[in-house]
């Protein structure tokens, strides 16, 4: 099996090389960086490290991931291949790559979330607004789908066939919660593994700014609110809604 590593990046020249260095040494790994309009040397450094870089000028975390996935699709992945997502800011520990993708490679899970809540965290790495958002979002996901998570962590791995079936579409901050709603509600196997977390290099585009925090919160809560309405009318309505919005089911 091949593992395709997708890294959305925006002006991460100080960290992208550190993220890539342990990953590109792995066997049967292909790395695609979704450069989201960087004005620094992010793309140049990523290419020098061995990654393929695709450019996506339309801003948005999900949009960068979607464009990178178009490149993955062009390479004709097999159903059991794996896609691993990791941020470019070096906040997650890339040496945990094997721990994140392992359960999918061993056919123990279809989706693996690297949980920053379960892992070791550097003081100040997971800001209060992120902790509160995780707490609320994961409880709503459990109420809607019946599956428990502790985090919306970006370091994650998913089977290619599962990802294709989910028909991911959110172009912005709702990417992680969309995946964690659609995949478990369809009955796919989901697990969490502890992910070590440290302060990112540079300033966060989301929790590091007021605008980013507000926009992310509104996006995530609107997605959860929509699925909560379906949940109020019963699990069959939840499943019907998911089938309409994806190929799962």
Q: Compute the average pLDDT of residues 200-220.
A: 62
Euclidean distance between CA atoms 128 and 130, whole angstroms: 5
Q: Categorize the per-residue pLDDT at 136 as very low, low, confident or very high, splitting at 50, 70 and 90.
A: confident
Query: 3-9 and 29-35: which strand pairing?
Result: parallel
Please give the distance of CA 108 from its chain centroid, rounded to a whole number.
Answer: 19
Tens of pLDDT, residue by residue over 46-91, are 999 999 999 999 999 999 999 999 999 999 999 999 999 999 999 9
Residue 17's domain spans which residues? Answer: 3-245
**Angle, in degrees to the nearest 10, between helices 175-185 and 235-245:** 120
Judging by beta carbons within 10 Å of its beta carbon (0-12, 13-18, 19+), is residue 115 exposed, middle or buried? buried
Token pair of 145 as six digits:
């789908």
pLDDT recorded at residue 248: 45
Contact 112, 192 (CB under 8 A): yes
Euclidean distance between CA atoms 187 and 182, whole angstroms: 9
pTM over 0.85? The answer is: yes
pLDDT recorded at residue 173: 84
pLDDT recorded at residue 172: 87
Q: What is the CATH number of the domain that holds 227?
A: 3.90.550.10
pLDDT recorded at residue 126: 82
pLDDT recorded at residue 52: 98
3-state secondary structure labels for all residues of the chain: CCEEEEEEECCCCCCHHHHHHHHCCCCCEEEEEEECCCCCCHHHHHHHCCCEEEECCCCCHHHHHHHHHHHHHHCCCCCCCEEEECCCCCCECHHHHHHHHHHHHCCCCCEEEEECCCCCECCCCCCHHHHHHHHHHHHHHHHHHCCCCCCCCCCEEEEHHHHHHHCCCCCCCCHHHHHHHHHHHCCCCEEEEECCECCCCCCCCCCCCHHHHHHHHHHHHHHHHHHHHHHHCCHHHHHHHHHHHCCCC
Instruction: Calculate Rg over the CA atoms of the chain.
Output: 17
Q: How many domains does the chain have?
A: 1
């Amino acid at each position: 099996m091949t593992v395709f590593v997708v890294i959305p990046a925006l002006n991460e020249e100080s960290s992208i090389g550190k993220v890539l260095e342990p990953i590109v040494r792995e066997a049967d790994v292909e790395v695609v960086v979704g450069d989201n309009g960087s004005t620094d040397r992010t793309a140049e450094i990523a290419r020098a490290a061995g990654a393929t870089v695709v450019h996506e000028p339309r801003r948005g975390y999900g949009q960068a991931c979607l464009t990178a996935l178009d490149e993955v699709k062009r390479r004709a992945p097999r159903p059991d291949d794996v896609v691993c997502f990791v941020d470019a800011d070096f906040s997650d520990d890339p040496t945990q790559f094997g721990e994140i993708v392992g359960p999918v490679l061993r056919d123990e899970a279809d989706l693996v979330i690297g949980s920053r809540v379960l892992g070791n965290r550097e003081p100040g790495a997971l800001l209060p607004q992120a902790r509160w958002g995780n707490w609320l979002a994961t409880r709503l996901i459990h109420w809607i789908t019946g599956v428990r998570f502790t985090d919306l962590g970006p370091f994650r791995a998913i089977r290619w066939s599962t990802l294709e079936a989910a028909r991911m579409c959110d172009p912005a901050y709702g990417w992680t919660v969309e995946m964690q709603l659609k995949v478990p509600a369809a009955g796919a196997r989901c697990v969490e593994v502890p992910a070590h977390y440290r302060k990112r290099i540079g300033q966060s585009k989301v929790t590091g700014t007021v605008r980013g925090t507000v926009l992310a919160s509104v996006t995530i809560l609107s997605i959860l609110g929509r699925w909560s309405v379906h949940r109020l009318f019963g699990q069959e309505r939840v499943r019907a809604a998911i089938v309409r919005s994806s190929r799962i089911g």
